[in-house]
Amino acid sequence: MTVKVKLDMSELERIRNKVAEFEGAQRVPLTDLLSDDLIRQHTRFQSLQAMLDAAGVKSQEDIETEAFSNFVKANSRWESWDDLCRFAGMRYFEQKGREIFTNGEQ
């Protein structure tokens, strides 16, 4: 006796396609990477904009200064702006990974 089984591979294909979206370098808007929730939890500010305003940031060049990195160190749990961004990047992609495997459901 032979039993034929048909497998629905659509979910596996969906996951494969979603994972492929993350191959290579990623450009993530700063406001997505550093959500207000993350800023509230890990700094003394209520939003990224409030933090940038308090630091006197007017341009991208201001963010890239040692003075801004020192500001981050004095007002958050990180030693530098780069440390904050690394943490935020890991958190962002962990969340995206959860979304892939839960089909966007929390």
Average pLDDT in the 75-99 region?
Answer: 90
Which has the higher per-residue pLDDT, 6 or 69? 69
Cα separation, 53 vs 87, in Å, equals: 21
Contact 67, 59 (CB under 8 A): no
Residue 33 three-state SS: helix
| Mean pLDDT (whole number) for 15-20 | 70
pLDDT at 22 > cutoff 80: no
Q: CA dist 93 to 16, 26, 89, 100, Å?
A: 16, 10, 6, 10
pLDDT of 106 reads 53
**Contact by Cβ (8 Å): 11, 18:** no
pLDDT tier, 59 (very low <50, low <70, confident <90, very high otherwise): very high
- What is the pLDDT, as a whole number, of residue 49? 95
Q: Please state the rounded mean pLDDT for residues 16-32.
A: 75
